[in-house]
Amino acid sequence: MHIQTHGYGPNDLVLIHGWAMHGGVFAPLLPYLQHDFHLHLVDLPGHGHSRESTVPLTLDACVDAIAAHVPDTAIWCGWSLGGLVALHAAARGVPMQALAMLCATPCFVHRDDWPHGMSPTVFADFAHGLHYDWQGTLDRFLALEAFGSEHAKEELRSLRDALFARGKPALSVLADGLDILQNTDLRPALPSLQTHSTWIAGRRDRLVNPQAMQAAAEMSPHAHFINIAQAGHAPFLTHAAEVAHGIKQLLEAAP
């Protein structure tokens, strides 16, 4: 699995991207972090430079592959789908300094006891769309990611530019990624989470309800919740300084 390194700071930070993307999507964030961190930018299996990776796109396999290549003292930061990977690592007790959840929750889909999740029919529609118009389905997903942001047009343009910058993702892993988003529920792990965590939401996010992130933070010991007022689902594109500040706060909070 491809993991690009960048920066020359004394601390280590792992950045894990969301569905259909790759580590290059974090480019606007790097200038704000590279002086404080040695960055490890992950391309998940089937995505970007990991398109030919033999690692399956499952939470356990991704955690194992990342943990084998990053220091035990790193902060793990996951955006959207990547947040589930990072949270699963923390729940498994993978050594890390701290956890940053970026527009991600332990349970993405609405359930009877989780009212702030997305409707299951939305994920079902995306899964169905992959079979007859996968590129159109990706574009609709990007539009939903950007919708609501103060800078929606600019955010959508950045997401579209990044989408195929490292080649097209493998169609099979797109379906695998949606399956993870639709069926994963890591809420039971939160109360016993020993890792210090920061949950960074975009108040205008239409994919991940900030209330779900706040609820998850309240279920977790040693957790801090940040809500960026004018941001959507990809705040590192439009509010990179605020996201970087939230991540850096973990250096002070974590033991």
Who contacts 232 (Cβ-Cβ below 8 Å, separation ≥6)?
Answer: 145, 146, 147, 148, 149, 150, 152, 155, 202, 204, 205, 206, 238
Q: Could you tell me which of 184, 15, 206 has the C-alpha nearest to residue 102? A: 15
DSSP code at position 24: G
Q: Per DSSP, what are the bridge partners of residue 75?
A: 13, 98
β-bridge pairing 223-228 and 197-202: parallel
| CB contact at 8 A, 232 and 148 | yes
Residue 10 in tokens: 């004394």
Residue 78: closest CA among 68, 69, 87: 87
Tens digits of residue pLDDT in 41-91: 999 999 999 999 999 999 999 999 999 999 999 999 999 999 999 999 999
From 80, 158, 197, 220, active-site residue = 80
Residue 233 annotated as catalytic:
yes
Q: In what order do the strands lie in the sheet with 75-79?
A: 3-6, 37-42, 11-16, 75-79, 98-102, 197-202, 223-228
Q: Which CA distances in Å does 23 have to 27, 167, 171?
A: 8, 12, 18
Give ∠ CA 41-98-72 in degrees, rounded to 5: 65
Q: Which residue among 22, 47, 88, 233 is the active-site one?
A: 233
- The C-alpha atoms of residue 58 and residue 175 are separated, in whole angstroms, by 12
Active site residue 112: no
Asked if residues 12 and 75 have their Cβ atoms less than 8 Å apart, the reply is: yes
- The answer to whether residues 240 and 232 touch, using CB atoms and an 8 Å cutoff, is no
Give the model's pLDDT for residue 122: 86
- Catalytic residue check, 80: yes
Distance CA(156)–CA(136), nearest Å, equals 14
**204, amino acid identity:** R
pLDDT in tens, the chain (255 residues): 999 999 999 999 999 999 999 999 999 999 999 999 999 999 999 999 999 999 999 999 999 999 999 999 999 999 999 999 999 999 999 999 999 999 999 999 999 999 999 999 988 888 888 888 888 888 888 888 788 777 788 888 888 888 888 888 888 899 999 999 999 999 999 999 999 999 999 999 989 999 999 999 999 999 999 999 999 999 999 999 999 999 999 998 766
* Whole-angstrom distance, CA of residue 253 vs CA of residue 196: 7
Instruction: Domains for the chain: give ranges and CATH numbers.
Output: 3-253 (3.40.50.1820)
- Cβ atoms 7, 34 nearer than 8 A: yes
The catalytically annotated residue of 12, 43, 176, 205 is 205
pLDDT for res 211: 97
